[in-house]
Structure 1
Amino acid sequence: MSTNGEYLRFTPGELARALEDPEWALDFASDVQDQEDEETAPAEARHFTTHQTWNLLGFLLKRLAFPVDIVFGEELIPEADDWGYEPPRYLTAYRVRLAADKLSRMTYGELIHGVDHKELAAAEVYSQIWDSPTSLEWARDLFIPLTEFFQAAASADHAMVIWLDRLPTARTIHHKS
């Protein structure tokens, strides 16, 4: 079982509906994930995953006092069930624009500057692979696409729903029983 960071772009109307009807939001997220090709470019995608790098990215961004919580989201969707580990959270379109702007001004080298892999191990950053200095390169291939995903969402004036999903082997959203 692994834990993946998941992101879904919502139009303002879709977000309003999600806040009123969290069950609809869960079905919508599941439908988008099922229909979207994993090869879709981040700038064109409605859904994006940081796979297991979510905690590393969160740790690194927190060190830099990043102004938006792009790993867990900021606002809880009221009355939503767990979509994995906990209920989903969202970022307003304004917060998505702020995050996109800040991400676009940052390189991955700046993000990891001064971080020692031993610091990650001591902080117990998921997924516990911090046995060498090169392990910090693990999230590089997802940082640029995540930035592109946020920039596209910001350009479209989209909000974003964010959640951590437990995945046994394939991409799924856990529906309530």
Structure 2
Amino acid sequence: MSMNGEYLRVTPAELTRALKDPEWALDLVEEIQDVQEDIETTPAEARHFTTHQTWNLLDFLLKRSAFPIDIVHGEEPFAEADDWGYGPPQYMTADRVRLAADTLTQMTYDQLIQCIDHSELAAAEIYPQIWDSPKSLEWARDLFTPLTEFFQAAAADGHAMVIWLD
């Protein structure tokens, strides 16, 4: 079984309800995931997005670049939520999503991996353990731009974000 980084765009009203009723939020996640399985959506159109197994690499790279927001784990915990896979979900308010989107827009994946050696990732035990060559740093490139587009669309719509590892 693998660990995947998961994101759900929610309106401020949906976030308020989710914080009061985490079971409702999990039902909403499953409903949106089911709908998106049946239709092809761009990251800007999607309400759910996954970084798959690249979440830990992205977390390492963003922290190293002094990214101002924890977009991999979220910033605020749900008070009374059960585990949604590997721990309870967390969230970001619409204002924090906007700041994340603005900051993501100002960087490229090449900037994130600049001066990083694949052996640093192995030494830091970044999940999954695939850091046997310099080319392994390319692994998350194809998800960085879509993640940026997802956050930009959420910010443009005034959405908050629910984030969890599954």
TM-score range, shorter chain: over 0.9
Q: Which residue of 1 aligns with 2:110?
A: 109
Q: Which residue of 2 aligns with 1:171?
A: none
Q: How does 1:74-93 map to 2 (within 5 A)?
A: 74-93=75-94
Q: How does 1:1-177 map to 2 (within 5 A)?
A: 1-37=1-37, 39-165=40-166
The 1-side partners of 2:109 and 2:26 are apart by 32
Seq. identity, %: 75
Q: Which runs of 5+ in 2 are unaligned?
A: none
- For residues 11-32 of structure 1, the C-alpha deviation after alignment (integer angstroms, 9 at most, x for no partner) is 0110010011111001101111
The 1-side partners of 2:121 and 2:164 are apart by 22
AA partner of residue 72 (structure 2): V
Q: How many pairs align?
A: 165
Instruction: Tell me by how many angstroms 1:111 deviates.
Output: 0.6
The 1-side partners of 2:122 and 2:30 are apart by 34
The 2-side partners of 1:22 and 1:164 are apart by 15
Instruction: Tell me by how many angstroms 1:88 deviates.
Output: 0.0
The root-mean-square deviation of aligned C-alpha atoms, in Å, is 0.7
Runs of 4+ with >4 A deviation: none
Instruction: Tell me by how many angstroms 1:39 deviates.
Output: 3.0
Q: Which is helix-richer, 1 or 2?
A: 2
- For residues 30-65 of structure 1, the C-alpha deviation after alignment (integer angstroms, 9 at most, x for no partner) is 111111136310000000000000000000000011
Q: Which runs of 5+ in 1 are unaligned?
A: 166-177
The 1-side partners of 2:33 and 2:96 are apart by 23
The 2-side partners of 1:77 and 1:18 are apart by 8
AA partner of residue 162 (structure 1): I
Q: TM-score, normalised by structure 2?
A: 0.98
Instruction: Tell me by how many angstroms 1:151 deviates.
Output: 0.1
The 1-side partners of 2:126 and 2:109 are apart by 18
